[in-house]
Amino acid sequence: MTKMKRTMVIVLSATATIASFSQVAEASSYRQAKTQLNLRTGASTENKVVTVIPTSEYVTEVSRLGTWSKVRYGTKTGYASTKFLLTDQQIGGLRIGKTLVVNPNLPLRSTYAPGESPIARAAFEKMKLAAKQEKITLVAFSTYRSYAYQKALFDKYVARDGFEKASTYSAQPGKSEHQTGLGFDIGGADSSKYAKFSFSSTKEAKWLATNSYRYGFHLRYPLGKESWTGYTYESWHFRYVGATLAAQLKVSGLTMEEYYKLEPGKPMTP
C-alpha cells in the first residue's frame, strides 16, 4: 500500500467512526456484564486492558462507537464490546440502581444465565473464613441455578405437592433468586438440616442471622414476612446485595419488597 492510499483509509475509517458515534440516554444507561469482560483503552481488541469487569457487574454505558460501548465502571472509563452488555430487557426482574430485584411478580427472562456471581462467591468465602474463627462451619450447598434446572425442580415439587403448595416453598422458573447467581443457600456442619426448618435453631443459622449482613448477605425470606416475600421462612436462603444495602435492610428489618415499596411478592396461582 502506498503512503497516500494508507492515509486515505485512515481518513475514511475516522469518518465512519464519527458517523456511528451516538449518545446513550442516561436513564437507560445501566448495562450488566454478560460475562467476565475486558475494559479497554479503545474500541478494539488491540487496545490495552484497563481492568476486568466481573460477570453480572453493572456498568454505565456512556456512548456507542460501532460495535463497542464506552462505559464507566467504578472510577474507570474504557471500552467494552456492546454484545456482552445486557440490557434490563434481556435480564428481566427489576433493576433499582445497581440492585436486581427478583420475586414472584418480577421474573427473570428464561435466557438470562449469568452463572454464579464471582463477587458474591468472594464475599461468601470471606464470611466463611470469619465464621470459622468462631468455630462455625458454613457451606454454600446451592448457589446458581439455571432456568431449566429450576423448572425441573419446580415440576418435581408440583408432582409431589400440587401447584399451590409447591409455590409457597419453591420458586417457579424465572422467579428464583438463584438464577441471578446472587442467591446462596447456606448450611452448617449437619447436612441433614440443609434447606430444612430445623436449620433455623442451629448455631450456624443464628450466626448468619446476626453477622451475614457484614459480608453483604441479606436473609431474603424471614419469619413473619411471608406476605411480603411470598415465601415461607427460609433460614438458609441469603441474597447477596452488597454490604451497604445489606446493612440498611438489617437495621430497618425490612424485606426488599418493603424497602423498595414494591407490591408484595405473592405466589402466582395457575
Residues at the interface with Zn ion (CB under 5 A): 185, 237
Q: Give the shortest CB-178-to-Zn ion separation in angstroms.
A: 6
Q: Give the shortest CB-165-to-Zn ion separation in angstroms.
A: 17
Q: Which of 165, 208, 202, 203 is nearest to 186 (CA)?
A: 208
Taking the C-alpha atoms of residue 176 and residue 182, their distance in angstroms, rounded to an integer, is 10
**69/176 with CB nearer Zn ion:** 176
Cell of 86: 445486557
H or E stretch including 142?
A: strand 139-142
Q: Alpha-carbon Rg of the chain, whole angstroms?
A: 22
**32/142 with CB nearer Zn ion:** 142
Taking the C-alpha atoms of residue 176 and residue 113, their distance in angstroms, rounded to an integer, is 12
**185/257 with CB nearer Zn ion:** 185
Taking the C-alpha atoms of residue 126 and residue 128, their distance in angstroms, rounded to an integer, is 5
> What are the two backbone dihedrals, phi and then psi, of residue 223, each rounded to the nearest 5 degrees?
-70, 135
> What are the two backbone dihedrals, phi and then psi, of residue 34, each rounded to the nearest 5 degrees?
-70, -30
Taking the C-alpha atoms of residue 161 and residue 22, their distance in angstroms, rounded to an integer, is 53
Are the beta carbons of 200 and 241 closer than 8 angstroms?
no
**121/237 with CB nearer Zn ion:** 237
Nearest residue to the partner Zn ion, using Cβ: 237
Q: Give the shortest CB-173-to-Zn ion separation in angstroms.
A: 14
Are the beta carbons of 35 and 84 closer than 8 angstroms?
yes
Q: Give the shortest CB-103-to-Zn ion separation in angstroms.
A: 13
**Cross-strand bridge partners of residue 221:** none
- Through-space distance between the first and last CA atoms of the chain, rounded to whole angstroms: 68
**37/106 with CB nearer Zn ion:** 106
**57/185 with CB nearer Zn ion:** 185
